[in-house]
Amino acid sequence: MPKKQVKRSFKHTKSYKALVSGLWQDHPTFCMVLGICSMLAITNKMDNALAMGLGVTFCTAFSSLFVAIFRNAIPARVRMLAYMVIISTFVICVDRFLKAYFPAISETMGPYVGLIITNCILMGRAEAYAIKNGPWLSFLDGVGCGLGYTFMLILMALIREPLGFGTILGKPLMPAFWVNWVVMTIAPGAFFLLGAYLWIFRTIAKKTE
C-alpha cells in the first residue's frame, strides 16, 4: 500500500523534476544552444549519433554525481579545474570503451569523442546544478540533460542519414531511384537543419529572442 502511494506521487517529487526538466523546459540545445559542435559534426550517421548521445549521457550523469559528492570540498577559485578533471576521467572511459568494443564507430568519430570534455553541457550542468544540489538529484539531472541531448542527436540523424546516404543505421531505406543529397552529410546541411529545427521549436514554445 505505501509503495503504491510513493509511485503515484513520484511525478511531483524533486527527482522527477530534475529528470524531466532537461528533456523539455531546459532542453540543452533548444533553449540554451549548448553543445552543438559535436552534435552538428557527427549526426550524419545514426550509429554515431547514438554512440555520442549515450556517451554524453554517461559522462554528464557521472560527472554531475561526482561534482555533487565533492561539492563541499571543492574551493570556489579552482572549481573549473576540478570539473575538468572529473569530466575528463569519464570521457577517457568512454573513449577507451568505444575503442575496445566499437572500433569502427570510434574511427569515424575520431577527435569528437575527446571533445566531449569541452561540450558545454557537462560544464554547464556541473556549474548550474551539481555544485548546489545533492548527489542523487544531480545524477538524475545529468541523465535528463543527456537524454534530451541524445533525443536531439537522433532527430538530426533521422533526417541526415536517409537524405545523405539513403540508409538508416547502415540499412538501405530509400528507393532505387534515390539520389543522395551530399550536402546533408557535410557541414552546410547540418547548419541548415539545426537552423530549421530551432525555428520550429522556438515558434512552438514561443521562446524567442
- 40 forms part of the interface with other proteins (CB under 8 A): yes
Shortest Å distance, C-beta 146 to other proteins: 18
**Rounded to an integer, what distance in angstroms lies between the CA atom of residue 51 and that of residue 47?**
6
**Rounded to an integer, what distance in angstroms lies between the CA atom of residue 22 and that of residue 25?**
6
Alpha carbon 207 to its chain's center: 21
- 199 forms part of the interface with other proteins (CB under 8 A): yes
Binding mask 6-35 for other proteins (x = CB under 8 A): ---------------------------xxx
Cell, residue 70: 565533492
How far CA 152 is from CA of 40, 43, 136, 207, in Å, comes to: 10, 10, 25, 17
Is the distance from CB of 52 to CB of 112 less than 8 angstroms?
yes
- 119 forms part of the interface with other proteins (CB under 8 A): yes
Stretch of 19-27, 87-95, 137-145, 153-161 contacting other proteins, by CB under 8 A: 87-95
- 137 forms part of the interface with other proteins (CB under 8 A): no
**Rounded to an integer, what distance in angstroms lies between the CA atom of residue 55 and that of residue 139?**
15
Shortest Å distance, C-beta 176 to other proteins: 28
Shortest Å distance, C-beta 3 to other proteins: 43
Residues 44-63 that bind other proteins (CB under 8 A): none
**CB of 137 or CB of 153, closer to other proteins:** 153
Shortest Å distance, C-beta 27 to other proteins: 13
Dump the DSSP string for 141-195. Answer: HHHHHHHHHHHHHHHHHHHHHHHHHSEETTEE-S-TT----HHHHSHHHHHHHHH
Other C-beta atoms closer than 10 Å to the C-beta of 199 total 10
- 142 forms part of the interface with other proteins (CB under 8 A): no
Q: Which residues bind other proteins (CB under 8 A)?
A: 33-38, 40-41, 80-81, 84-85, 88-89, 91-92, 95-96, 110-111, 114-115, 117-120, 123, 186-192, 194-195, 198-203, 208-209
